[in-house]
Amino acid sequence: MDATRIGETARTPAAPAARTGSSRAAGPSFGEVLQREVARVRFSAHAARRMEERRISLGEADLARLSRAVEMAAAKGCREALILMDRLALVANVRNKTVVTAMPAADWQNHVFTNIDGAVIVR
């Protein structure tokens, strides 16, 4: 039996203090970051090496255009797509959103692109 003395009150654990501010840092939510990363096109090791060798660089605007091109190819059911963007040819695995090779227009002469089932021309 739990006895309490007269004049004493039973002690209850203190309620947690109310938070005055949010513990979440300012910036995009996890969902926003996840959506952005899922939509982002990746580059295979081979493609990254080719881009470095050929001195090809893409800015954020170029990457956004490339992502849209891959999405367009996916909407049409492509699995492997040739993407012609500016003076650049990229072959992408559409399902994985991964560029597998890249080359500048100067290397296109007498070149045959194989194992593609679609092409997207980006303006």
Encode pLDDT of 81-109 as tens digits.
Answer: 999 999 999 999 999 999 999 999 998 88
The total number of structural domains in the chain stands at 1
Q: What is the pLDDT of residues 47-67, one digit of tens each?
A: 999 999 999 999 999 999 999
Residue ranges making up the domain that contains 58: 41-122
Tens of pLDDT, residue by residue over 11-50, are 555 555 555 555 556 787 766 655 565 568 999 999 999 9
- Asked, for residue 74, whether it belongs to a domain, the answer is yes
Q: Is 29 a domain residue? A: no
| Rounded-to-integer distance, Cα 60 and Cα 102, Å | 17
